[in-house]
Amino acid sequence: MQPVVKTMVVRRSPEDAFRLFTAEIARWWPLATHHLSPAPPVACAVEPAVGGRIFETAADGSERDWGRVTIW
């Protein structure tokens, strides 16, 4: 299986772009329409380390993993 690769040019420093993509994922991710939980979603996050989860949290407190961080 091949990984999904997306490339884009942004007008920000690499450090700022990385922070926005990871630490502030809830700010830009369309959680209302792109989630896995049957309960209404309330948050999504990236754990900032190799092996960390990329996940969502639902209104009932349940969490659903979307993936794992492989490079940090």
Q: What is the mean pLDDT of residues 31-35?
A: 96
Q: What is the mean pLDDT of the chain?
A: 95
CB atoms within 10 A of CB 32: 8
Residue partners of 68: CB distance under 8 A and separation at least 6: 51, 52, 53, 54
Predicted TM-score (pTM) of the model is 0.81
Q: What percent of the chain has pLDDT over 70?
A: 100
pLDDT at residue 69 is higher than 90: yes
What's the pLDDT score for residue 8?
86
